[in-house]
């Protein structure tokens, strides 16, 4: 993930000053434990200023409005209590070439600040600190005691101290080429590494773009650079410093991230705030998606492994119970031939009552024939009772396996992160598993029982122009099948295979053609566990013939009056 460096900070703060200062603070909402969103009201409207201390994505920029969900964090409540109704009048850096800024709040733009919100963007050491006019700390996002850091403590009630200054040299436009060259080339090494070690305020991504513009390989040794290359790099260096001094920026997307200087840009961006917000939001979403996907797959695999072992044990016990009549038959034979028993024998071979075939009966030598027969009768009764006890347990385990395989299929359909809807679909699956007691509700707040699933279904259109909706998870499947489906629609599902519920939307009086039905069957096959098969049996019926068994888990449905069509998943283009 690209670092929110000093150059980006200057560009973003310059844009905020021009477009959103002064502004009145109306609301503070904490998105997560790292990020707060501050609602700022200007004469032109309302905007949300995002400030994050995330270890990999610390930043400040104008972002999207926060989601409408309860804010239970105390830091945001303390901020709105102190700053509510005040004006944000200034944003300034704390020290030259440091990624730490001071947001100043006052009653009016022409008055002295009453509070300072210090934002320190320093990787895993990033923080947010609110102080009064005398710099006494009122609240802090992450308190740091002497036990945690011997360099600097940040605690409520203390006086705020700026982070320790860096020891690297400060870049300057007044620095001559000879002095700059001498500093960079003093210790031989790769040009990228030497610039990073020598000067403050620069980042790996900035240096790579700077060296790319100068047509120099970042790994080139300083001893190998020609005088022309040194001069070209120095000119690029000065262009960068002039851009900072004049606050002249050119935001753009690059092949690997973004730039605020235009270097290596492949797509210019008009609004730097949109660029920064979108980049870090997407990167964090991708990170959260990968972690959540791995967590869910791991949990479901563990549950399925245990359940399949349990089902196998139950099936083995049922197979044993199938031998119940065999034990009774042997006991009957033994009782009918008591006169043939002799003390100490370990087996008897007696003819079957029905066909006269020899039946071998093992005996316990320390017991007589009657006692052996009684033992066989007891085994017969025990195995008969076991069948009545095990059958419902096996059915319960199989239902649980079917449910988790359905969840597993839903996760497999969301294979790669492409949009926020993908992450939201995974989060809904996690909430569902929390609700079904498969996962503990530790990191995520459980949504209320009255809240419905999102409606970001997969959407397609058939060759005849009919709309097709496909559930991304069990919650959406239930919503499609039992809330959205209309009287004239058609419901599709892979036959006895875990997969998504698919709905073909039809108006009264319309009839889909065979190619429309085939198209939807292909989609139902593609969005099932048998995606890799050449042909998949798909059932379709009217929604009124689709039922949810009483007490069934999410996504489980039974149907009747169905017809079967063979779906061909390989004909569907990937999402």
CATH code (residue 247): 1.10.8.50
Which pLDDT score, from 0 to 100, does residue 318 have?
A: 82
Query: What residues are paired with 348 via a beta bridge?
Result: 361
Residues 99 and 15 placed together within one structural domain of the fold? yes
Q: Which of 94-103, 303-312, 390-399, 444-453 has the lowest mean pLDDT?
A: 444-453
**128 shares a domain with 32:** yes
- In a shared domain, residues 462 and 534: yes
Is the pLDDT higher at 187 or at 62? 62
In contact, 139 and 79? CB cutoff 8 Å: yes
Domain co-membership, 123 together with 242: no
Is residue 525 included in any domain, yes or no? yes
Summarised one tens digit per residue, pLDDT across range 146-185 is: 888 878 899 999 999 999 888 889 999 999 999 999 999 9
**Helix and strand numbers, DSSP H then E, in the chain:** 12, 22
Could you report the per-residue pLDDT of 370-423, keeping only the tens digit for each? 998 898 888 888 877 777 888 889 999 999 999 999 999 999 888 889 888 899
CA 252 – CA 265 distance, rounded (Å): 5
More reliable by pLDDT, 329 or 24:
24
pLDDT at 69: 83
pLDDT beyond 50 at 557: yes
**Which has the minimum average pLDDT: 313-327, 498-512, 531-545?**
313-327
Integer Cα distance of 132 and 139 in angstroms:
10
User: Do 69 and 182 fall within a single domain?
Assistant: no
> Residue 299 — pLDDT band, cuts 50, 70, 90?
very high
Residues 131, 182 share a domain: no
Backbone angles phi, psi at 277, to 5 degrees: -60, -45
C-beta separation of 365 from 344 below 8 A? yes
Asked if 194 and 82 sit in the same domain, the reply is: no
Give me the pLDDT at residue 551, please: 84
C-alpha to C-alpha distances, 245 to 11, 166, 173, 548, nearest whole angstrom: 11, 20, 9, 67
pLDDT higher than 80, residue 85: yes
Pairing of strands 467-470, 458-461: antiparallel
Let me know if residue 186 belongs to a domain: yes
pLDDT computed for residue 574 by the predictor = 64
Q: What confidence category does residue 450 fall into, taking pLDDT thresholds of 50, 70 and 90? A: very low
* Same domain membership, residue 122 and residue 21: yes
The total number of structural domains in the chain stands at: 4
Report the interhelical angle of 227-246 vs 177-185 (nearest 10°): 110
pLDDT (mean) for 289-314: 94
Q: Cα–chain-centroid distance for residue 54? A: 16
Mean pLDDT of the chain: 91
Whether the full predicted model's pTM is greater than 0.85, yes or no, is: no
CA separation, residue 412 to residues 481, 553, 569 (Å): 21, 19, 15
**Within a domain: residue 352?**
yes
Does one domain contain both 113 and 29?
yes
Confidence of residue 449 (pLDDT cuts 50, 70, 90): very low
Question: How many C-beta neighbours within 10 Å does residue 3 have?
Answer: 18
Cα distances from 243 to residues 10, 92, 235, 238, in angstroms, run 10, 18, 12, 8
| 506 has pLDDT over 90 | yes
Nearest CA among 441, 452, 63, 474 for reference residue 284: 63
Query: Starting at the edge strand that comes first in sequence, how are the strands of the sheet with 45-52 ordered?
Result: 59-63, 45-52, 35-42, 23-30, 87-93, 100-106, 115-120, 127-132, 137-140
Residue 123 has pLDDT above 80, yes or no: yes
Co-location of 550 and 482 in the same domain: yes
Q: How far is CA 72 from the centre of its chain?
A: 21
- Residue 445: inside a domain: no
The pLDDT value given to residue 352: 86
Cβ atoms of residues 75 and 36 within 8 Å: yes
Of 270-284, 366-380, 436-450, 549-563, which range is least confident?
A: 436-450
Q: Is residue 451 part of a domain?
A: no
Spatial distance between the Cα atoms of 470 and 473, rounded to a whole number of angstroms: 9
pLDDT in tens, 175-216: 999 999 999 998 899 999 999 999 999 999 999 999 999 999
Q: What is the mean pLDDT of residues 123-132?
A: 95
- Domain span at residue 103 reads 6-140
The residue among 382, 399, 416 that closes a domain is: 399
474 and 358 in one domain?
no
Give a yes or no: residue 275 inside a domain: no
Q: Is the pLDDT of residue 281 over 90?
A: yes
Domain boundary among the residues 92, 122, 140 is at 140
Residue 325 lies in a domain: yes
Mean pLDDT for 91-111 is 94
- Say what the pLDDT of residue 446 is: 43
User: How does residue 130 score in pLDDT terms, banded at 50, 70 and 90?
Assistant: very high
State which of 140, 157, 187 marks the end of a domain. 140
CB within 8 Å of 146: residues ≥ 6 apart:
153
324 and 384 Cβ atoms separated by less than 8 Å: yes
d(Cα 196, Cα 175) in Å, to the nearest integer?
17
Q: What is the pLDDT of residues 216-251, one digit of tens each?
A: 999 999 999 999 999 999 999 999 999 999 999 999
Q: Cβ distance 259 to 209 under 8 Å?
A: yes
pLDDT (0 to 100) of residue 445: 47
Element (H, E) at 35: strand 35-42
Alpha-carbon span 483 to 274, nearest angstrom: 37
Q: Tell me the CATH number at 68.
A: 2.30.310.10
Give CA separation, 331 vs 218, 321, 324, 400, in Å.
88, 16, 11, 39
Residues 112 and 183 in one domain: no
What percentage of the chain carries pLDDT values higher than 90?
72
Residue 80 lies in a domain: yes
Would you state the pLDDT for residue 453? 55
Q: Are 184 and 191 contacting, i.e. CB atoms less than 8 angstroms apart?
A: yes
Q: What is the CA radius of gyration of the chain?
A: 36
């Amino acid at each position: 993930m690209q670092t929110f460096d000093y150059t980006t900070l200057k560009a973003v703060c310059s844009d905020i000053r021009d477009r959103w200062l002064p502004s009145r603070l109306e609301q503070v909402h904490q998105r997560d434990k790292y990020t707060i969103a501050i609602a700022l009201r200007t004469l032109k409207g309302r905007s949300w200023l995002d400030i994050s201390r995330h270890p990999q994505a610390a930043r400040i920029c104008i972002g999207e409005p926060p989601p409408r969900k309860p804010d239970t964090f105390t830091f945001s409540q303390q901020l709105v209590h102190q700053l509510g109704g005040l004006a944000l009048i200034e944003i300034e850096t704390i020290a030259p070439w440091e990624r730490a800024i001071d947001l100043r709040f006052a009653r009016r733009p022409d008055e002295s600040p009453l509070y300072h919100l210090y934002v320190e963007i320093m990787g895993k050491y990033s923080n947010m600190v609110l102080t009064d006019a005398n710099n006494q700390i009122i609240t802090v996002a992450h308190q740091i005691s002497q036990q945690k850091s011997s360099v600097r403590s940040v605690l409520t009630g203390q006086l705020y101290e700026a982070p320790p200054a860096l020891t690297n040299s400060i870049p300057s436009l007044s620095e001559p080429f000879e002095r700059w060259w001498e500093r960079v080339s003093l210790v031989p090494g790769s040009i990228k590494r030497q610039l990073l070690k020598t000067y403050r305020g620069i980042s790996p991504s900035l240096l790579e773009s700077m060296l790319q513009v100068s047509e120099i390989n970042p790994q080139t040794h300083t001893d190998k650079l020609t005088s022309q290359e040194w001069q070209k790099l120095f000119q690029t260096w000065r262009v960068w410093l002039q851009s900072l001094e004049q606050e002249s920026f050119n935001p753009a997307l690059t092949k690997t991230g973004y730039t605020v200087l235009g270097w290596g840009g492949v797509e210019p961006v008009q609004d730097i705030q949109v660029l920064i917000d979108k980049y870090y939001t997407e990167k964090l979403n991708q990170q959260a998606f990968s972690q959540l996907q791995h967590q869910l797959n791991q949990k479901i695999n563990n549950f399925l492994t245990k359940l399949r072992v349990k089902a196998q044990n139950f099936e083995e016990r049922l197979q044993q119970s199938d031998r119940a009549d065999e034990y009774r038959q042997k006991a009957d034979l033994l009782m009918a031939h008591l006169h043939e028993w002799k003390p100490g024998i370990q087996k008897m071979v007696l003819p079957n009552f029905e066909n006269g075939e020899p039946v071998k009966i093992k005996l316990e030598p320390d017991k007589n024939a009657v006692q052996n027969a009684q033992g066989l009768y007891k085994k017969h009764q025990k195995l008969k009772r076991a069948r009545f006890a095990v059958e419902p347990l096996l059915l319960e385990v199989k239902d649980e396996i079917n449910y988790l395989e359905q969840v597993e299929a839903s996760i497999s359909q969301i294979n790669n992160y492409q949009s926020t809807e993908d992450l939201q679909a995974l989060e809904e699956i996690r909430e569902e598993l929390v609700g079904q007691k498969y996962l503990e509700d530790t990191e995520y707040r459980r949504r209320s029982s009255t809240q419905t699933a999102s409606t970001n279904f997969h959407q397609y259109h058939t060759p005849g122009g009919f709309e097709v909706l496909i559930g991304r998870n069990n919650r959406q499947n239930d919503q499609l099948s039992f809330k959205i489906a209309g009287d004239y629609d058609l419901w599709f599902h892979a036959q006895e295979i875990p997969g998504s519920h698919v709905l073909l939307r039809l108006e009264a009086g319309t009839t889909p053609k065979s190619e429309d039905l085939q198209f939807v069957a292909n989609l139902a096959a593609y969005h099932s566990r048998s995606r890799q098969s050449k042909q998949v049996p798909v059932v379709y019926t009217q929604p009124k013939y689709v039922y949810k068994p009483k007490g069934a888990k999410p996504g489980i449905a039974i149907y009747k009056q169905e017809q079967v069509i063979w779906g061909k998943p390989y004909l569907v283009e990937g999402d």
